[in-house]
Structure 1
Amino acid sequence: MSYPSVLDMVLAELKRESGVLAVFLTGSYARGEADAWSDLDISVLVEADVFVRNTVAYRAGLLVSVERSTPSHRERAFTDPETALWNLGSLRSGQALHDPAGVFAALQERARAFVWVEVEPQAHARAAALLAGSTEELHKVMGGLQAGDVDKLAFALVGLTFALGNAALLGTGTLIPTENRYLSAARGAWTDPVWRECYACLTGVSGEGIVQRGRAALRAYERAVALTRWPDGPDRVQAQEAARRADAFLRG
């Protein structure tokens, strides 16, 4: 069965569900980037939390992902910076499939009019908290490198990949167009060449081994601390001390 036929079948079923306000297409099919392995992403706006749920299933050979959320949940993208990172792109590029009361159209209009400055103070505060909160992972990297414990090191690198990546995205207001491009978006958020090189190494996309990735993680953390616009508060002191220790470790 073809993609349009599967979409028509699923849409007909969704329109019969209780509490459905609107249905819109997101993901690679909405962007015109789908390949043979792409899932069909469908978002549903529902009346109340009781209808909120996600389902993933094969339909006529095509993997179909359906996300159900309330309009109020989607509206968090206009006030919460991390929600904005992940949701504004899909709201802006989504294609309405069923929107009898214009609920999705209103959300999309707000999303397209949104400017990052509206949440910038909260974004910088959250980036600062992420960096300060990553000091444990940073110490695990140093401990793993010192002891040659690759399991400990690899686990810490997972946490730092997203903590540093989110800090970069929040600090620059770089939206995530799709989760498939999260790493490239985070890597390119800051123009600093040391950040870009070290983050690429940390995440493994440039092909280095685990030890090189660990050392790159320490340097990426240093650069993130230097590049972040810090609000007043204790997070800056915490992160700067962690960066100093990472630098001393690398020099030692």
Structure 2
Amino acid sequence: MHHTREALAIAERLSADLAPDAVGIGLFGSVAKGTDHPASDIDLVLAVETEPGTEVRQVEGRMVTLSRKTAAELEAAFTRPWEAVTAVGAWRRARILHDPDGTMTRLQARANTWTWEAIPDVDRWAASELVGLAEEVHKVVGMTGLGRARAAAANRAILTLQLAYPIAAANRLVCDSENDLWDAVAAAEGPAWARAWDTAAGLTPGDHATGCRAVLALYRIAADHLAHHLDEPDRAIVTTARELATEH
């Protein structure tokens, strides 16, 4: 499409300008896949030796995100489950624009052969995320009981988004981006998760109280899936949160 061709041209021109300061440059995301829309950002990842960070530019009417990371930081994403779920797929679909010493090609090759077996104890990590998110369950219930709707809504939103990552890891999903994560998790977990997530996220009709009950149902599903991977003290935390979620 015309807007994709324009975005690719911008990415290539920027890559040429930025090349002297980068070990490698890759184009990621929807523009690299050819699935972008006119409002999509152009996502460039730069492998650098110094001064990592993120910069956003406006170039010819398009938003451009420049993510500067060292090669070690880029490689670390393959060992972190919360990053790997989207990083691996993104690398597989990336377009390499500048790669004088083969760093980007090597990382893409690793993504192409990567499996979840590369990360030990994935289910234990996923289950441990429920320990931290148990606090959000208590807050949703507590703030709702106090009539503090905005606080309850904020914690409901945290749970709705953050529960997807451990569940994605538990299902050994590989997604091209976060935009694909939510549908992939819903498909993997099935109708009960999908209905609860849609309601918690506000996609289906329902008031605030209905959305809070839905996000508590998500936590119950996740706990049933993962709690048995925890040791007794952590399992007790998740079980208590699950029971609280069941009561409300």
The two structures share one fold, judged by TM-score above 0.5: yes
- Counterpart of 2:217? 219
Contact 1:22/1:100 (<8 A) preserved: yes
CA distance in 2, matches of 1:230, 1:13: 52
Determine what percentage of the aligned residue pairs are the same residue: 27
Does 1:72 find its partner at 2:76?
no
| Off by >4 Å, runs of 4+ in structure 1 | none
Cα drift, residue 186 of structure 1: 3.1
CA distance in 2, matches of 1:212, 1:90: 35
Cα drift, residue 229 of structure 1: 6.1
CA distance in 2, matches of 1:37, 1:241: 44
Alignment gaps of 5+ in structure 1: none
Cα drift, residue 15 of structure 1: 1.2
Shift in CA distance, 152/4, structure 1 to aligned 2, threshold 3 Å: closer
Alignment gaps of 5+ in structure 2: none
Cα drift, residue 4 of structure 1: 4.1
Shift in CA distance, 26/139, structure 1 to aligned 2, threshold 3 Å: same
User: Secondary structure at 1:44's aligned position in 2?
Assistant: strand
Contact 1:131/1:163 (<8 A) preserved: no
- Counterpart of 1:230? 228
User: Secondary structure at 1:176's aligned position in 2?
Assistant: coil
CA distance in 1, matches of 2:150, 2:8: 45
Deviation per CA, 1:166-223: give whole Å up to 9, x if none.
Answer: 12112112123222233223333323x2222112211222243211110111111111
Alignment of 1:30-69 (within 5 A): 30-46=32-48, 48=49, 50-69=50-69
Cα drift, residue 137 of structure 1: 1.1
- Counterpart of 2:158? 159
Shift in CA distance, 40/232, structure 1 to aligned 2, threshold 3 Å: closer
Letter in 2 for 1:198: A
Shift in CA distance, 102/238, structure 1 to aligned 2, threshold 3 Å: same
Contact 1:187/1:200 (<8 A) preserved: no
Count of residues in Structure 1 that have an aligned counterpart in Structure 2: 243
RMSD: 1.9
CA distance in 1, matches of 2:192, 2:225: 11
Q: Which deviates more from structure 2 when the two are superposed, residues 176-185 or residues 28-37?
A: 176-185
Does 1:210 find its partner at 2:213?
no
User: Secondary structure at 2:66's aligned position in 1?
Assistant: strand
Q: Which deviates more from structure 2 when the two are superposed, residues 228-237 or residues 151-160?
A: 228-237
Cα drift, residue 86 of structure 1: 2.9
CA distance in 2, matches of 1:237, 1:120: 24
- Please, which of 4, 10, 14 is the counterpart of residue 10 of structure 1? 14
Contact 1:222/1:243 (<8 A) preserved: yes
Normalising by structure 2, we get a TM-score of 0.90
Letter in 1 for 2:220: E
Contact 1:79/1:119 (<8 A) preserved: yes
Letter in 2 for 1:66: L
CA distance in 1, matches of 2:204, 2:120: 31
